[in-house]
Amino acid sequence: MPGFLRKVLVFGVVLLAYLGLMYAVNCMSATLNAPRAGETILIAGDSHVERALNPELLGSAESVAQNMEPYYVTYWKLKRMLAGSPVKTLILGLTHHQLSDFNDLKLSHQRWAPEMFRRIYVIEEAEAAARHGIKVDRSELWRAKFRNMCLYPKWTHDAFLGGYTSSSDSLSLDQEHSLKRHFQRDGETCGISTYSLACLESIVDLCTRLGIRIVFIAPPVHSLYFEGIPEVFIRRYEELTADLRARGLEVWDYTRLPMEDSGFLNSDHLNERGARQFSQLVATRLREPR
């Protein structure tokens, strides 16, 4: 028995030592290779801006927008990327569904949480989110941390970055599915995510503090999608944009910009052709005097 226990103990200790070493190495590489914004225009948000704005057409710009990203993740991301960066303008997506409290499920729902944690394990502030009532699947979070930080040395930890994504596919009308996902839960209309709005406010504060111009953009959506957005979200969105404008912030709402079907990938995303048109429009407006 002592021989057996000794073997098991040695095996366990060596394993723990290895895992600890890998964790230390990965913490170091995550710090040393932490990505910083390198251009003067930074595009952030979820899949709507990810697919709508081609940074190559905006001059000195880069996109860190990523699909299914709620505002709180964008905030955690920007906190790390903006400080000490040359960014002068932040283009931030502002769409109706980003106000929906379906975003509050991103850290707990089986469908989203594993992917979300895979991306954000080095920037997450899940405990802060949990204090604000966001449900967090902690076991999934620790699994993601363990898998990415403890098993082998990784030189980059930037899965949270995102970037411009394009597709040349033509319109597939999926508004029923998208509207249901964005605005309904268990057959009921979703509520407004107070935590998302609080983080949006934090992003504004951050940019103000760093002297960064912030431009809120709502890319075009298909009329069939827009017509299906619940009234409560239309109203809250209008209140929010009015409030932002009243505070001197720029809100460029192109939700209902007339656009041919050939510019859409689906009911709420632009394809490559649509993104080209829209990016040129935004680029022109960015060059105009404020």
Partner 1 sequence: MLFNSIDFAIFLPIVFVLYWFVANRSLNAQNLLIVVASYIFYGWWDWRFLLLILFSTVVDFVVGLRLEKEGVPAKRKMLLLVSILVNLGFLGFFKYFNFFLDNFVGVFSLFGVDIDAQSLNIILPVGISFYTFQTLSYSIDVFRRKLEPTRDFVAFAAFVSFFPQLVAGPIERATNLLPQFAVNRSFDHRAAVDGLRQVLWGLFKKVVIADGCADYATSVFSNSADASGSTLVLGAFFFAMQIYGDFSGYSDIAIGTARLFGFRLRKNFAFPYFSRDIAEFWRRWHISLSTWFRDYVYIPLGGSMGRTWIRIRNTLLIFVVSGFWHGANWTFVVWGLLNALYFLPLMLRRRNRSHLGVVAEGRVLPSLRDAGRMLATFCLTLVAWIFFRADSMGHAVSFLGGILSPTLVSIPSRAPKAMLLLIPLFLLVEWLGREGEHALANMGLRWPRALRWAMYYGITLMTMGMAGRPHEFIYFQF
| C-beta of 128 vs 151, nearer to partner 1 | 151
CB count within 10 Å of CB 83 equals 13
| C-beta of 3 vs 84, nearer to partner 1 | 3
| C-beta of 16 vs 198, nearer to partner 1 | 16
Among 9, 13, 16, 18, binds partner 1 (CB under 8 A): 18
Indicate whether 9 belongs to the interface with partner 1 (CB under 8 A).
no
Which residues within the stretch 186-215 sit at the binding site for partner 1 (CB under 8 A)?
none
Q: How far is the CB of 19 from partner 1 (least distance, A)?
A: 8
Query: Which pair of structure tokens corresponds to residue 3?
Result: 């021989």
Indicate whether 8 belongs to the interface with partner 1 (CB under 8 A).
yes
Query: Which pair of structure tokens corresponds to residue 228?
Result: 């299906």
Q: Beta strands of 94-175 (E only): which ranges? A: none
| C-beta of 110 vs 168, nearer to partner 1 | 110
Among 9, 13, 15, 24, binds partner 1 (CB under 8 A): 15
Distance CA 47, CA 8 (A): 49
Indicate whether 155 belongs to the interface with partner 1 (CB under 8 A).
no
Indicate whether 177 belongs to the interface with partner 1 (CB under 8 A).
no
Q: How far is the CB of 179 from partner 1 (least distance, A)?
A: 23
Which residues within the stretch 129-148 sit at the binding site for partner 1 (CB under 8 A)?
139-140, 143, 146-147
Element (H, E) at 100: none
Q: What are phi and psi of 169, to 5 degrees?
A: -60, 155
Among 21, 24, 151, 234, binds partner 1 (CB under 8 A): 151
Which residues within the stretch 77-116 sit at the binding site for partner 1 (CB under 8 A)?
110, 114
Instruction: Using DSSP, state whether 213 is helix, strand or coil.
Output: strand
Residue holding tokens 């994504």?
165
**Could you give the C-alpha distances from 103 to 55, 167, 281, in angstroms and in order?**
26, 25, 29
Q: How far is the CB of 114 from partner 1 (least distance, A)?
A: 7
Q: What is the dihedral of CA 115, 92, 177, 135, to 10 degrees?
A: 50
**Could you give the C-alpha distances from 4 to 9, 12, 17, in angstroms and in order?**
8, 12, 20
Distance CA 1, CA 38 (A): 60
Distance CA 74, CA 19 (A): 30
Q: How far is the CB of 121 from partner 1 (least distance, A)?
A: 14
Give me the residues paired with residue 91 across strands.
43, 215
State the number of binding residues for partner 1 (CB under 8 A): 18
Indicate whether 11 belongs to the interface with partner 1 (CB under 8 A).
yes
Q: How far is the CB of 145 from partner 1 (least distance, A)?
A: 13
Residues 164, 55 contacting (CB under 8 angstroms) = yes
Amino acid at 251: V
Which residues within the stretch 43-62 sit at the binding site for partner 1 (CB under 8 A)?
none
Residues that bind partner 1 in the complex, under the rule CB under 8 A: 1, 3-4, 7-8, 11, 14-15, 18, 110, 114, 139-140, 143, 146-147, 151-152
